[in-house]
Structure 1
Amino acid sequence: MVNWLRKFLVCLGKAHDANAGTRAEDYPENIWSEDLVRHSSGECSMAMVRGNKHVEDRCHVVVTPAGTFFGVYDGHGGSAASQFVLDHLHTNFTRILQEAGGVMSDEVLRNAFSETENEFIELIRKQFSLMPAIAAIGSCVLVGVLWGKDLYLANLGDCRAVMGGLMEGQIWRERAMTVDHNARSSDIRKELQEAHPDVPDVVLKRGVWRVKGNLQVTRSIGDAYLKFPEFSLNTISRYKIKKPIVRPVVRADPEITKTVLHKDDRFIVFATDGLWDELSNTAVDLIVRGEPRPGIARTLIRRALEVAATKNKMTYEQLKRLDEGQRDRRPIHDDMTVIVVFFDQAAPGEEPMVSYTLGNAGPSSNPGAGPSSSSTGASSSSNAGPSSNPGAGASSSSNAGASSSSNAGPSSNPGAGASSSSNAGASSSSNAGASSSSNAGPSSNPGAGPSSSSNAGASSSSNAGIVLYYH
């Protein structure tokens, strides 16, 4: 086995910072962030803010000596699908990469997405009779894999990656590196209509353009009711479609690109659509170039919130105060998650194995709470980071990457490792992601989407925030 892969599969369990993220001052303005951390070829900054009553976004960064995995996941209908992707996609990627002898390729990513989709659909199949609304849960997925000088991007949905750098060494430019798979785009609608010429209502405008009048994104993990006839939700009014589907009208195959990084490529921004709803590609580029690097992801979110506040005829201070009454901010702005990655051209192989997870079960709706002080840290437990079992990929449990404590977040006890509680990720079973328990999975209440606790698939506690591991 190649040396880096052996290191990747052995968890040493050294906590990054036992107190990081447990102090209220770590989260000014209720924006959860990791201001600046190392990756295999430079530095990166992460941040997240809640728009929904319970955040539906997830993200993580996993650094190995050979490269870095960046994941941004934007759930809809609740957080069950985005949590499932957080728990399974990187695990599948690791195992498939191992099976490929450590040789990175488009196919490794494609197969990791496919297996994650298949696992989630199988979970839906097992629970559909008890909780039919589980078939309406889905997640957009944006992944970047930095592998030496190669940057692989895989995208489903309308998260977006934007690169900033010099063109021909002279003129600065920013450029979108991914396509938004959203029915608002005429090109995307045309693509969908050409793929389904026998389905005249494949896209309908109900306020905005939507697939079958229901879903804005045209590619996702989950959303089984728009992929398989067996998951019809015509008994639930909000998901009813006039003409039942006979084949998938929403795709789960990612659009994958490979870019060889040039010395003039300076940074890339990965973000959920909540950020891009408020800031243009050019605005984001100018902010990243013009503001200090530490905390730049948090800076982007604050600028986006200022724009959202202005649009809604309020001040930024008034917007911040909405958290004090635990009010849903969704009418004003969406959840926002941002990862800013700087390319400093450091040689790969200099960094240890590191995993950063932001929003494992979503930031707390209590602005004074920050994340929970429940112990997670790093651990040789199979529910935290890569496993010492080489057959398991990243973890011998399907809950890899997430703490097994329902109150995920950095531990206040540096020796604690991960909690042995089973209320993490989705469940301690391999069918994590949905459960009849109130701590996991969609609710049988069809109006609730996934669960009466909007942290479906993760935990009934909203106190999570940032989970940091050094391996």
Structure 2
Amino acid sequence: MNSSNINFVLNTYLKLDLNCRGKLLINIYKNNVFVNQKCGFTSSCYRYFRTSHEAAQAPLKDGVTVLPTPQEVTITLRKNEFNKEFIQGSVKSYDSNQLASNDPIEDTRSEAMCKQTAGLLMGIFDGHGGPACAQVVSKRLLNYIAAALLPYEQLQTYINEGAPDSLLETFNDKTKMVEDLKYKYSKSFKQYLAELAADDKEINIKTSLEKAIMSLDSDLSKEVVDPYNSDGFINPKTLSVALSGAVACVSHIDGPHLHIANVGDCNAVLGTMTEENEWVAKKITKEHNAENFDELKRIWNEHPDSERKTVIRRDRLLGELAPLRSIGDYRYKWSAELLSKLAVPYIGNKAIPAHYYTPPYLTAMPDIYYHRLTPKDKFLIIASDGLWDMMTPLQAVKLVGEHMKGKVFFNLLKLPKKNIQLGDIDELLVHRKESLKSKPKDKNAATHLIRHAIGGTEYGVDHSRLAHLLSLAPDVSRMFRDDMTVTVAYFDAEFLRQCPS
């Protein structure tokens, strides 16, 4: 790293408060700076500083770093924001946004309404070891879930009609599937439908979510292994998807019924208002990582006692992988023999982790959580760990709650009645002028959270800190923050109030 980069990083470091400095130093110590926080790969394509001596940074003018203006910062923050409103159902609207730290970004998100059954699906997918797995999962998983939710007769009709686009109405879907993989994925999906049709059981949302996630994870492997077994062919694209990985948090909301499927370390948090008008954060999910002792016990019990010191090392699976469950990541699922045939020729001997004795070490089995929504539940936040590394669930809920209150001032003023007196209008305008002080900078709540996650201090958002962190090149940025993807869904209290108990 050259001297100008070093100075820029040090200046950014000094802008942080003591708590954030501590987090950064712990992160560098744990990851030895060069190793991806989640995947453990050490090849050049996964290093933080793969081109640090050439890394772009904030421009220099007469030797002085020129930081982006507040307007330029806002343009950057709002680049990927999206909002969708609904005219019926328990969800009034949702806001989403994401901000990259890695290049390319390894987070993805997807949202869709089920067209043949009831329910809104929203998912956050946090990739590691590259973006390939997260991108593919975000494009395919919601279809797998929608198919698993079809009653038997509807499933048979759907199979006979063969209309894959009729399952979901997707929103903000800008990514396109690679052409040469469309046929392969379509073939896998048809086989998945046949397996669903062979199992004539009553539909259960919990088992449907489990079935969809586990089936897609299995297909990621089959799409590599089957062609190899039949003719010795290995497709580098399907192999890269299988060897990279993704954690996922997916919600299914149908009226007052909220189900969350979680694999890995994304989180879903409910924002609830008490009778005393105080915000409460209800953390629905529990991370699958080394801080979850039940998860550690599960892994220890699945392997011989002789591996107790090697299966979890440095708070990671086999000393490499931070999330203890994920989709893909077949470096920790295939046998050593299969890895030698499929992965070693492409990425070398590092493809087989040290102390790899009794695979599989990893599963994609999700934990499923259920919550019945009430009028007190105002919104749901689903986000990748890039957000939760920077703020607590309660901080996030309070920020969205304050944002809800201030967001009304984005709307035009409407007089409450026709024959209002001039004095009443004057009082209303004075109150509105005073209240405008609480108007947030961003109409989108996800953007509001990201802005505060990066630039927030106990005194509000610090533009200098925000500008510094947004100016870092991807090689350096990853030292300070992860990719962030956030979705905030707002509930209709009146709709929930009328739902039968």
Range of TM-score over shorter length? 0.5 to 0.7
Work out the CA distance in 2 between the residues paired with 1:169 and 1:236.
60
Aligned with 1:144 (options 248, 251, 263): 251
**Who is 2:5 aligned against?**
none
Query: Which residue does 1:282 correspond to in 2?
Result: 394
> CA-to-partner distance for each residue in 1:429-467, whole Å, 9 max, x for gaps?
xxxxxxxxxxxxxxxxxxxxxxxxxxxxxxxxxxxxxxx
| C-alpha distance after superposition, 1:372-416 (max 9, x if no partner) | xxxxxxxxxxxxxxxxxxxxxxxxxxxxxxxxxxxxxxxxxxxxx
Q: Answer yes or no: is the 8 Å Cα contact 2:121–2:251 preserved in 1.
A: yes
Structure 2 residue identity aligned to 1:90: L
Which amino acid counterpart does residue 123 of structure 1 have in structure 2? E
Match of 2:484 among 336, 344, 348: 336
CA contact 2:331–2:352 (8 Å) conserved in 1: no
**Residues 1:54 and 1:149: Cα distance change in structure 2 (over 3 Å):** same
Q: Is the 8 A contact 1:193 1:202 kept in 2?
A: no
Give the counterpart letter for 2:358 in structure 1. Answer: V
- In structure 2, the partner of 1:255 is 367
Structure 2 Cα separation of the partners of residues 50 and 75 of structure 1 = 12
Give distance in 2, aligned partners of 1:197 and 1:314.
Answer: 52
Q: Partner of 1:251: helix, strand, or coil?
A: coil
Q: State the Cα distance separating 1:134 from its structure 2 match.
A: 5.4
Report the equivalent of 1:105: 205
Matched, 1:117 2:117: no
Whether 1:243 aligns to 2:355 is yes
Q: Is residue 329 of structure 2 the alignment partner of residue 213 of structure 1?
A: no
Q: 1:167 to 1:80 in 2, by over 3 A?
A: same
Written as runs of structure 1 = structure 2, the 5 A alignment for 1:28-43 is: 28-39=75-86, 40=89, 41-43=91-93
Q: Aligned match of 2:380 in 268, 281, 289?
A: 268
Contact 2:77 2:451 in 1 (8 A): no
Counterpart in the other structure of 1:181: 288
TM-score, with structure 1 as normaliser:
0.61
Query: Partner of 2:145 in structure 1?
Result: 93
Is the 8 Å Cα contact of residues 192 and 202 (structure 1) preserved in structure 2?
A: no
- Pick the aligned partner of 2:125 from 67, 73, 80: 73
Higher relative contact order (CA 8 A, sep 6+): 1
- The alignment of Structure 1 onto Structure 2 pairs a total of residues equal to 318
**Contact persistence 1:135–1:231 (CA under 8 A):** no
Structure 1: which amino acid aligns with 2:331? Y
Give the 5 Å matches for 1:49-60. Answer: 49-60=99-110
Kindly indicate whether residue 454 of structure 2 is the aligned counterpart of residue 305 of structure 1: yes
> Any idea what the Cα deviations from partners look like across 1:75-98, whole Å, max 9, x if unmatched?
111111111111211111122222
User: Matched residues in 1 for 2:125 and 2:262: separation?
Assistant: 10
CA shift for structure 1 position 182? 1.2
Q: How far apart are the structure 1 equivalents of 2:213 and 2:134? A: 13
Aligned-residue Cα RMSD (Å) equals 3.1
Q: Which has the larger radius of gyration?
A: 2
What's the CA shift string for 1:186-226, capped at 9, x where partnerless?
Answer: 443233223324332454334xx100111011111111121
**Residue 28 to residue 84, structure 1, CA distance change in 2 (3 Å):** same
Query: Contact between 2:97 and 2:485, CA under 8 Å: does it hold in 1?
Result: yes
What residue in structure 2 maps to residue 160 of structure 1?
267
Report the CA distance between 1:236 and its aligned residue: 3.5
Q: Contact (CA 8 Å) 2:339, 2:351: kept in 1 or not?
A: no
| Counterpart for residue 461 of structure 1 | none
Question: Contact (CA 8 Å) 1:33, 1:297: kept in 2 or not?
Answer: no
CA–CA distance in 2 between the matches of 1:214 and 1:239? Answer: 12
Q: 1:318 aligns with which of 435, 443, 468?
A: 468
CA distance in 1, matches of 2:85, 2:310: 44
- Work out the CA distance in 1 between the residues paired with 2:151 and 2:119: 17
* Compared CA separation, residues 120 and 101, structure 1 to 2 (3 A): same
Q: Which residue of 2 aligns with 1:363?
A: none
Change (3 A) 1:29 1:173: same
Q: Structure 1 residues 212, 314: closer, same or farther in 2, change over 3 A?
A: farther
Structure 2 unaligned segments of length 5 or more: list them.
1-70, 155-202, 408-442, 497-501
Residues of 2 paired with 1:38 and 1:202: CA distance? 49
Residue identity over aligned pairs, in percent, reads 27
Q: In the aligned structure 2, how far is the partner of 1:55 from the partner of 1:257?
A: 28
Hey, what does 2:198 align to over in structure 1? Answer: none
- Report the Cα offset of residue 345 of structure 1: 3.9
Residue aligned with 1:248, SS: coil
TM-score (norm 2): 0.58
- Residue 274 of structure 1: how far off its partner (Å): 0.5
Report the 3-state secondary structure (helix = DSSP H, G, I; strand = E; otherwise coil) of the residue aligned with 2:374.
coil
Superposition deviation, residue 32 in structure 1: 3.3
Q: Kindly state the Cα deviation for residue 315 of structure 1 after the two structures are TM-superposed.
A: 2.0
Amino acid at match of 1:193: W
Name the CA shift for 1:32/1:157 in 2 (closer, same or farther; >3 Å): farther
More helix per residue: 2
Deviations 1:17-58 (CA, angstroms, capped at 9, x unpaired):
xxxxxxx99971244333532244211100100010110111
Residues 1:247 and 1:172: Cα distance change in structure 2 (over 3 Å): same
One-letter amino acid of the structure 1 residue matched with residue 207 of structure 2: E
Q: Post-superposition shift, 1:135?
A: 4.7
Q: Match of 2:312?
A: 204
Q: Which whole-Å CA distance do the structure 1 matches of 2:382 and 2:333 have between them?
A: 27
Pair 186,238 (structure 1): closer, same or farther in 2 beyond 3 Å: farther
